[in-house]
Structure 1
Amino acid sequence: MSEFSLLSEPIRRYINDKRWEALRPIQSAAIKRIMGTEDHYILVSRTASGKTEAAFLPILSKVNFKDEGVQVLYISPLIALINDQFARVEDLCRYMDVTVTRWHGEANITAKKRLLKQPEGILLITPESIESLFCNRPENARALFSKLKFIVIDEIHTFLGSDRGMHLRSLLSRIGELATGPKPRIVGLSATVGDYEEAKRFTGDPANTKVLIDPTAKGIKAYFKFSKGNEVAYQPDFIAELYRHVHDRKVLIFPNTRGNAEELAVKLKKMAERKKGHPYYFSHHSAVDKDLREYVEEFVKNNKRHNFCIACTSTLELGIDIGTVETVIQVDATHSIASLIQRVGRSGRKEGEESKLLLYATENWSMLQSFACWELFKEQFVEPVYGQIKPYDLLFHQTLSILKETNGLPRQLLVQKLHNNAVFTAFTGAELDFLLDDMIKRDFIEDLRRELIVGVEGEKLTSSRDFYSMFASPVMLKVIHAGNTIGELEVDPAIVIGDNVLLAARIWKITDIDFNTKKVYVTPANDGKKPKFSSGTGDVHPRIRNKMLEILATEFTSDEADSSAIESINEVRSMFREFRLNGQSAVRPVIVKSDTIDIYTFTGTKINRTLHFLIQTLGNKVIMDDKTSRISIEGKAINLQELVNNIRYQLPAIREHVRATMETSNPPFPVNKWGVWLPIDLQVEYVLNNVFDVPGTAAFLEELQLVTPIHEDTFVKE
């Protein structure tokens, strides 16, 4: 029996009316498994391979939508993705007369009220809106979630290993507790899962979760170029060269920060004006006003005739449908292979088309990292992700959320609820009691003897709209021109009247700032004053850095690179020409200068961060440059073997060193949004498990051999 024949008659009619020639591989596999078993599934297939339909075709065929209540919950990481998928799912559901409703802060209120009055059909929602329902409308949460048959999680890779993902896992467990029948089945969708076991754990039932993988590779035509830049701004020659690649086609440009996206959009737009080219140059990122972002999305999606260029960040990295994109340009290295895969997949989305990637680097080490990511991508490596085993910060948050939802619980029942939650199973009873006692002592919880309720301090947290998310929201100022909102700027003491800022692909002059109403008033800038913009980075996996070392240890060539790119790699290689490097060993080069030594670790960001901290505990003045994987130690005569031994000696005491540092008035470690409310011992645990990589550092130090150039003394591992 063919998979097509398994589908319900309305869905078969939908496929026929759309004139599909055949089901795609991931769709055939998903139809057979979802309809023929009761398992959970993770569907892994390249971008634009029909994953959304792969989930919904069998689900719509299997579910009886005449049953009472909402039957399918679709969870998305982005409101914009919900709005995009709403049209696709609604189109499918027209053939079955199934109601589809969006639920987020910007969704239609009338549609929400209608759904609450008569829960039915399919609900599209974000994790934060689920949390809000549990806290503020627990009776509505029960009405909406208690009859679910399926939960579809889009772009599930964005949740894996993250605080937001742990939050969602907890919410899924709480939804499961509401079920009046069998718990809902979960179907996750992704193009870039690096750790299938973590994805299976996400469902809360890994033993009954299967991963369906479509290994069909999409053709990708990639080319690498180098154009010398600096840390201040993109150079005119680079902008001119970039313009030649974007002026006559449909292009997405991915730099790595919002500021860089704005700079590219503005400079390319100015060049187009000078050369009388097309005017369709945009920026797209989270600080651009929602209406402007949606205008850009609609323009490029419905545009058939005009070329365009969008300089964007991760807001267009995910699966929002923006129609035809001919080329993706990545400017400087992505910090992860998963991000590179998502971005490349935005071009060549039509069946039979290949994706086109042009990767420009403006700095030698960025070029080297770009090649490393690309080589690992060809080896089919994607960074594995690991969630916290004991997320105390989430435990604090969800304890308050559950007490808010239930309006209070006996302590024993609260502990039981926490233990039943799939995210908190690793906690012992003593660990739960320790946190609960601390929360009671500090008035986050009030103990009424017969039950625990939200305390005075807890009420301050739970009554805020900020309570629904796991990520900290910076204070933002609305940017206003002629009564229209352009976007937002993060509050920064450096923002002053008279400054120029980049936003929405234009340069604006700040004319007034009202911190009380959180508004910045601007006019178009014409004075040529250099605008300000922001920057940012991400953690890099050790495997990428090790691949960078492998490239330097060989005579690297590539048919996908021009001579400028190869020469850029050779410039970095020349720094280490006097070392006998072997990319497969633990040898790491050390360059001794007059007053410092530079250790090039070629390892991941978290291990570098741990090494940097441990060396500081030895009393050394040390600087870490993660971009070059370099740790610089001030000192004229440092015995390298003694240094390594001392670092190894300090590692077992890192917990005490972290605690001592965090007890200072200005701790240097980032502790996440809810971690700041934990007692100091648990904040230390958070830092050790999230900021640092203690096991990875121990393994790295065990094998580490620091070497100086071959004509100098060599210090090797004992």
Structure 2
Amino acid sequence: MQEQAYEAIRGGSDTLIIAPTAGGKSEAALIPVLDDILKTGAKGVACLYLSPLKALINDQEERIATFCRPTGLSLAKWHGDVPKGERGWNPDDAPQFLLITPESLEVLLHEHGPVAALTHLRYVIVDELHAFVESERGVHLRILLDRLDRIAAAPVQRIGLSATVGNPEEVLAWLSGGRGSRRLVAVPAPATEKKFRFVIEPDPGRRIDALAGLVSGKKALVFVNSRSTAESILQEAAGRIKNLHIHHSSVAPAKKREAEEASHGAGGACIICTSTLELGIDIGDLDIVVQVGPPDSVSSFLQRMGRSGRRDQSAFVAWLLADPKELLTSCAVIECAREKRIEPLRPPEKPWNVLVQQIFLHVLSASRAGRGTIVRDLLSLFVFSHFSVEDVDRLLSSLVSAGYLSADGEMLVLGPEAERVFGRSNYRELYSVIPGGGEYRVVTPDGEVVGSLDARFAHRTEPGNFTLGGATWSVVKCDESHNLVVVVPGGHNKGISRVFWSAGGEAALSPVICGAVQRIIARGGTDLPLSETDAEALREAIGAFPASIGEQGLFVRKERGHAGPEVVVYSFAGSRINQVLALLLRGALGRGRVRYDDYRVRVFGAGKAGVAEHVADALHKIPALPPGEASAFLPLPAPDPWKFARTLTEEQFRAMVSTDYYCTADVLQALARTPVVVLHGEEPGPGAGA
């Protein structure tokens, strides 16, 4: 893999390197870049290493320094946790390697001194590329790459690193943007033994007992699917598992470093974690990975499984499951991994939210800017190339009307509304598309950072005690003006509230996993080597679904539920798609109520006689709906997840969420290709008690 990467990179191609976790991707990128710099010399920053996480930069710093020190090359890091005095350099002393996040790069590009060192930039290495592609951070990243081409003397060669991509050629094309030659380096890893163990335990207390037995005396990562679950398990397992730690995005950086360091120490250590430890942070050699409940994607599973099985040992994943249904899903995940069925990555198509950010930054950097110049510059960027001149011009007009911009003829400046909303701290909020205000920093009276809390949780009328990062805290003050919660160590006499976060909760299963579940049900089992106990549990889970479900299609059946008759559409599409399907179905029927989960859509009150056929007929007609009519059935979500959404008109916001949040066109196209089958004979359904 490293040989192929060397050939591709030194040949001048934009390159995407795909290899398993700990497969040597970083070295594959660094060796040809170092080789070129040493042979031809470097004035200023020659290579940017872009990472999605500050923690990953901190972790990779020493790894990259190991290559740089013997060769006399220098490196520096630049992100929000680096003291301001340590950011930047003298004009003649710029580092050859700069490790940075996209948000910090945006800041750097607005600082006249440091940005001059990028004029000789040759390479950009984007680590964990898959973590960017589908998000607005990915849109922002692609804009930054285009802007680097304009700053540098020649187009900057782009190198992407990833362990898991379902559509690598498309992702490489997105990274490169059609600028020149590009190469995919994806050398399959040699087949190795994988060991799995399933523990099904409905009782929460006994699940913790089982967890303690699995990790006792071992180096272990315990992956959960939400921060709330991580905190809950840590609280329940405290005192029962030695050297126990927690790692998620709302834990203080010092607490996360403590967990990472514990994994390198002698003896056993257990870290309860979320996706923050899926990425390339070094946590040493593990004895076991525990997955609590099935993960939401095959990509996540491969990242998590890749954390074990190093140093010629077999990967070992133990699955701690609540019921047979979770076993069915887990078997589907393993089958997909074995067959290399990984979720394709889909970049946003209508990033109006990021377009607003870039308009503000364009005007801010120039103090005032001509309307025509703004339109031309933005439409020349790859991510906005499919927008029209009229799209951008209408957006500029609406921003002027709302007071976000002020016009002096053709010249535009930031308006009073932009100053009111974004003007604090020299418009620092404009440098990132990550929304703020949804979380409050938690600190002690002495200024020690504890972590962060969801704003809704911070505003509880009866605060009481809560646990965060393995300690119990009591709220002293909630400061809304500074998004701050002051806490002191709490006692146990008032009861402890379970901490929650609105964003990043339990995610929907991917359509790839759900499709594999459908195939297992249609086959009546799996060929994975299961114990007899597990095989019986799997048969129980499969038996909860209609026996006549096939490997493809939507299966419609009238069922008897506790609340009366209902029609169930077994779609196996994942709850993100099923949400859209349910809303479109309700709109097409013109009556009834709908509910959905990862595997089905349930329709109540749609009639009596021939109701299954009526629903099936509606499913046939939905793909023919004009896009505008289909979008009208989908309620506008709250704008909070999109940082600049409140600056958009309703029409612009609806176009964005219809395309990139609901993915309406994709759902309609998939529905048009999918056969609809009515299963006759009313039966009690598996959802009768739901």
CA drift of 1:143 comes to: 1.1
Partners of 2:83 and 2:475 lie apart in 1 by: 35
Matched residue, 1:499: 464
Matched residue SS, 1:95: helix
Q: 1:168 aligns with which of 111, 136, 141?
A: 141
After TM superposition, the structure 1 = structure 2 runs for residues 399-414 of structure 1, keeping only pairs within 5 Å, are 399-414=359-374
The answer as to 2:559 corresponding to 1:591 is: yes
CA gap of 1:670–1:521, structure 2 versus 1, over 3 A, is closer
Deviations 1:144-199 (A, max 9, x none): 322101111000111112111011001111111112x2111111111112222123
Q: Secondary structure at the match of 2:474?
A: strand
What whole-Å deviation, never above 9, does each CA across 1:554-585 have from its counterpart, x for those lacking one? 231455434443333322322235x4221134
Tell me which of 567, 584, 589 is aligned to 1:614.
584
- Note the C-alpha offset of 1:31: 1.9
Shift of the alpha carbon at 1:621? 4.1
State the distance in 2 between where 1:393 and 1:660 align: 22
Q: CA contact under 8 A between 2:567 and 2:612: conserved in structure 1?
A: no
Letter in 1 for 2:548: R
2:149 alignment partner, SS class: helix
Counterparts in 2 of 1:450 and 1:680: CA distance versus 1, 3 Å: closer
Q: Give the whole-Å Cα distance in 2 for the aligned partners of 1:360 and 1:661.
A: 37
Cα distance, 1:59 vs. partner? 0.4
CA contact (8 A) 1:200 1:210 kept: no
SS in 1 for 2:222: strand
Partner secondary structure for residue 435 of structure 2: coil
**CA shift for structure 1 position 51:** 0.9
Q: Is the 8 A contact 1:156 1:190 kept in 2?
A: yes
Q: Which residue of 1 aligns with 2:162?
A: 190
| Alignment partner of 1:510 is 2:474 | yes
Partner of 1:372: 332
Residue of structure 2 equivalent to 1:475: 439
Given candidates 31, 53, 70, the residue that maps to 2:6 is 31
Deviation at residue 201 of structure 1 after TM alignment: 1.5
Q: Distance in 2 between matches of 1:366 and 1:669?
A: 33
Count of residue correspondences: 666
Out of 100, 103, 106, the position equivalent to 2:78 is 103
Cα distance in 1 between the residues matched to 2:530 and 2:497: 33
For residues 115 and 292 of structure 2, what CA distance do their matches in structure 1 show? 47
CA distance in 1, matches of 2:560, 2:78: 59
**Alignment partner, residue 533 of structure 1:** 499
- Kept in 1, the 8 Å contact 2:568–2:602? The answer is yes
Match of 2:263 in 1: 300
Q: Determine which of 649, 656, 659 is the counterpart of 1:689.
A: 659
The whole-number CA distance in structure 2 between the counterparts of 1:63 and 1:669 is 46
1:711 Cα deviation (Å)?
7.0
Closer, same or farther: CA 596–123 of 1 in aligned 2, 3 Å: same
The within-5 A match list for 1:405-554 is 405-459=365-419, 460-461=421-422, 463-473=426-436, 474-480=438-444, 484-492=448-456, 495=460, 499-506=464-471, 508-510=472-474, 512-516=476-480, 518-527=484-493, 529=495, 531-534=497-500, 536-554=505-523
| Match among 664, 671, 677 for residue 647 of structure 2 | 677
Distance 1:559 1:204, change over 3 A: closer
| 44-53 or 412-421, larger mean C-alpha shift | 412-421
Asked if the contact 1:329–1:360 (Cα under 8 Å) also holds between the matched residues in 2, the reply is yes
State whether residues 169 and 202 of structure 1, in contact with CA within 8 Å, keep that contact through their aligned partners in structure 2.
yes
Q: C-alpha displacement at 1:141, in angstroms?
A: 5.5
1:526–1:39: structure 2 CA closer, same or farther, 3 Å change rule? Answer: same
Identity of aligned residues (%): 26
* Cross-structure match for 2:188: 215
One-letter code aligned to 2:551:
G
Q: TM-score, normalised by structure 1?
A: 0.86
Q: Tell me, yes or no, if structure 1 residue 646 matches structure 2 residue 579.
A: no
2:573 — aligned with what? 603
Structure 1: distance between partners of 2:179 and 2:308: 34
Per-residue displacement from partner, 1:360-384 (whole Å, max 9, x unpaired)?
A: 2213333222211211111111110
Q: Do 2:445 and 2:487's aligned partners in 1 also have CA atoms closer than 8 Å?
A: yes
Give structure 1 stretches of 5+ with no counterpart. 1-25, 273-277, 714-718
Judging changes above 3 Å, is the alpha-carbon distance between structure 1 residues 512 and 566 closer, same or farther for their aligned structure 2 residues?
Answer: farther
Tell me if 1:358 matches 2:344.
no
TM-aligned CA distance change 1:481 to 1:558, over 3 Å: farther
Q: Is the alpha carbon distance of 1:98 and 1:109 closer, same or farther for their aligned partners in structure 2, counting shifts above 3 Å?
A: farther
Residue in structure 2 matching 1:245, options 214, 226, 238: 214
- Distance across 2 between alignment mates of 1:539 and 1:78: 23
Deviation at 1:539, TM superposition (A): 3.7
Aligned residue number for residue 566 of structure 1: 535
Q: How far does the alpha carbon of each residue in 1:333-392 deviate from its partner, in whole angstroms, 9 at most, with x for none?
A: 111111111111111233x23321112221333322221121111111111011123322
Structure 1 position 397, deviation (Å): 1.2
Distance in 2, Cα, partners of 1:631 & 1:690: 25
**1 CA distance for matches of 2:359 and 2:538?**
52
* Superposition deviation, residue 662 in structure 1: 5.5
Distance 2:478 2:303 in 1: 39
Relative to structure 1, is the Cα distance of residues 306 and 226 closer, same or farther in structure 2, using a 3 angstrom cutoff?
Answer: closer
Q: 2:254 aligns with which of 269, 274, 291?
A: 291
**SS at structure 1 position matched to 2:49:** strand
Q: Name the stretch that deviates more: 478-487 or 425-434.
A: 478-487
Question: Is the Cα contact below 8 Å between 1:332 and 1:366 reproduced in 2?
Answer: yes
Native 8 Å contact 2:207 2:320 kept in 1: no
2:273 to 288, 296, 312: 312
1:268 to 233, 237, 248: 237
Partner Cα distance (2:518, 2:208) in 1: 30
* Correspondence 1:145-156 to 2 at 5 A: 145-156=118-129
- 1:328 match: 289
SS in 2 for 1:263: helix
- Checking the alignment, whether the CA contact within 8 Å between 2:17 and 2:162 is kept in structure 1 is yes
